[in-house]
Amino acid sequence: MTTTDPYAGSRETTEGRVYTVTGGDWDLTFGSGGSGLDGPAEERLVVNMGPQHPSTHGVLRLVLDLEGETVTKARVVIGYLHTGIEKNVEYRTWTQGTTFVTRMDYLAPLFNETGYCLAVEKLLGIEVPERATTIRVLVMELNRIASHLVGLATFGMEMGALTGMTNGFRERELVLDLLEEITGLRMNHAYVRPGGVAQDLPEGIEARIREWLAIMPERVAGFHRLLTGQPIWQRRLRDVGYLDVTGCVALGVTGPILRSAGLPWDLRKVEPYCGYETYDFEVPTADTADAWGRYLVRMAEVNESMKIIEQALDRLRPGPVMVEDKKIAWPAQLSLGADGMGNSLDHVKHIMGQSMEALIHHFKLVTEGFRVPAGQVWTAVESPRGELGFHVVSDGGTRPFRVHVRDPSFTNLQATAAMSEGGMIADVIAAIASIDPVMGGVDR
C-alpha cells in the first residue's frame, strides 16, 4: 500500500485510513508530458452512451468519438432486445404468427399484424371482407396517432420538455382506451388475423370514437401551444439531424424522416393497400430535412389520421369481419362473457353437445392450423416509422417457413451517424429522438 497512489490520495482518520479517489491524471496521459494513444495534441474522447438510454426507446447503445463537444464518429450498437421472433414464428401456426409479430414494434402493433396478415392472405390468394378491411384501416390509424403521440412525448422528454411527455402519454391513453375496447388489449392485440379480424367492433364504439375525434383537435392544438411556438424547442430542433432526400434513399430511410426532406413517399398513396386509395387525405411534408421538420410532419400526420378515421367510420357497413372459408377462419366467434372475452357460448354448445364433426374441425384448425400454398411474397405497409415490409415464405405447410421483417426502425437507425457526426453531443439526442426508433422492432 503506497500513499503516493496518483489516483487515490489517502489520509489517516479516527476510522482508519481513508482514500479519496480522484481523476487528475488527464495531463499525465494526454497532456504535453504524456504519451497518449493519439499523441499529445489530440483531445479525442470516446464516450459510451447506454446500453440503457434513459428514454422509452428501449435499450440502445451509442459509442461516440468526441473532440470537445463535437461528435466525430457515432456508432450504434443494437441487439439488446433481440427475442428471436422471426425464428419463433417458424414453430407456430400461421394464425399464431400474429401474436408474435405484434410484439416487435410495440408502439405500432396493429401495423405489424396487418402487414403480416396481408402477406399470408397474398400467399393464400384470398380477399378479406370489406368490413374487416375498413376496421383494419380504422385501428391502424388510431394506432398511428397513439404511436406519434408517444414519439412526441419521448421527443419532449429527451429535449427536457417534460410537460410534452406527460401530455403525450395522457392523450395516447385515450387512444389506448379505444383500442382496448375494440381489441380487448391495450397493446399486443393479436386482433388482425389472416382472413380478417378476430371479432367485430363492440356496440357503441363508433359513438365513442366520434366523441374522441371531437376533443382531439383541441389536444393537438395544445401541443402546438406548448411546443411549436416555443423558442427553446425550435432552437433545439432546427438544423439538427440534417439528412436530405439523397441521404435518406441511400440509407433506406423512409417514413416521416424521408417526408421531412420533402419527398411525399407514403405507401398508402404510392402503393395503396387496404383500400387507402379511396380515402381522402394528404401526405404532409417539410423541406427542412431536420428534426424540426420531422416534428411538424408527425404533428400534421395526426390530423390526417383523424380524417381517415372519420371516413372509415362513415363507411362501416354491417357484414362479416372474417372470410367465409371455414378452413381458414377460426371457428369460435369470440364474445364477451361475464368472465371476459372467450369462445361464444353458442359455439361451445354447438361443438360440445350437437356436432362431433364441428368439435373435430375446431380442434384440428386450432391445434394444427391451415395450410398455405408454397411460395414467397413481399408486402409492405406504411407504419408510423416508415416502410414495414414482410418477406414471408411458405413451404406448403401449416407453419411459416420463413418470416423476415423489414422493420423501419432498424433501417432508419442506420442514419444516426449521418445525422449526428459533425454536430454537438447534445444534438445526438435530438437526432435520435427525431428518428423515433422502437428497439423492439429494431432487434425483433
Partner 1 sequence: MTGAFRTGAFGVTGSGDTSGFGGLVRVEPGGAVALHSTDRPYGGWFDEVADALADAVGQATYDAAVRRVLVDRGEITWFVHAAHLLTLLQALRDDDALRFELCSSVSGVDYLDAGGPTGERLHVVYHLTSMTYRRRIRLEVAVTAADPHVPSATRVYPTSDWHERECFDMFGVVFDGHPALTRILMPDDWDGHPQRKDYPLGGVPVEYHDATIPPPDERRSYR
CB-wise, 350 or 371, nearer to partner 1?
371
Q: What is the DSSP letter of 288?
A: S
Q: Hey, is 322 helix, strand or coil?
A: strand
The CA distance from 374 to 431, in Å, is: 43
Q: Residue 171 or residue 266: which is nearer to partner 1 going by CB? A: 266
Q: Which is nearer to partner 1, 207 or 250 (CB)?
A: 250
Could you tell me the smallest distance in angstroms from the CB atom of residue 129 to partner 1? 6
Do 105 and 58 contact (CB within 8 A), yes or no? no
* Residue 220 beta carbon to partner 1: minimum distance, rounded to whole angstroms: 30
| Closer of 311 and 414 to partner 1 (Cβ) | 414
Least distance in Å: CB of 404 to partner 1? 4
Q: How far is the CB of 83 from partner 1 (least distance, A)?
A: 10
Separation of alpha carbons 286 and 259, rounded Å: 6
Where does residue 244 rank: exposed (0-12), middle (13-18), buried (19+ CB within 10 A)? middle
Closer Cβ to partner 1, 36 or 51, answer by number: 51
Q: From the CB of 332, what's the least distance to partner 1, in Å?
A: 17
Query: Rounded to 5 degrees, what are φ and ψ at 31?
Result: -70, -170
Select 142 or 413, whichever has its Cβ closest to partner 1. 413
Nearby residues of 196 by Cβ (< 8 Å), 6 or more positions away: 128, 129, 132, 320, 321, 322, 323, 329
Tell me the three cell numbers of residue 113: 399484424
Beta bridge partners of 4: none
CB 66 within 8 A of CB 49: no
In the chain, what's the furthest Cα-to-Cα distance?
A: 92
Rounded CA separation 238/392 (Å): 40
Residue number, 270 or 336, with CB nearest to partner 1: 270
The bridge status of strand 192-193 relative to strand 70-77 is unpaired
Q: What is the Cα–Cα distance from 43 to 132, expressed in whole angstroms? A: 60
Output the smallest distance, CB 376 to partner 1, in A.
Answer: 6
CA dihedral of 357, 358, 364, 369, whole degrees rounded to 10? 140
Which CB atom, from 117 or from 413, has the smaller least distance to partner 1? 413
Query: Interface with partner 1 by CB under 8 A: which residues?
Result: 78-79, 82, 84, 86-87, 91, 122-129, 195, 249-254, 263, 265, 270-271, 320, 323-325, 327-329, 361, 364-365, 367-371, 374-378, 380, 387, 389, 391, 393-398, 401-402, 404, 406, 410-411, 413-414, 443-444
The span from the CA of 75 to the CA of 104, in Å, is 23
Q: Which residues pair with residue 76 across a beta bridge?
A: 62
Cβ closer to partner 1: 66 or 263?
263
- Joined together, the cell numbers standing for residue 286 give 417539410
Closest separation in Å from C-beta 382 to partner 1: 13
Per the document, the length of the chain is: 444
Q: At its nearest, how many Å lie between partner 1 and the CB of residue 333?
A: 16
In angstroms, give the least distance from the CB of 79 to partner 1. 4
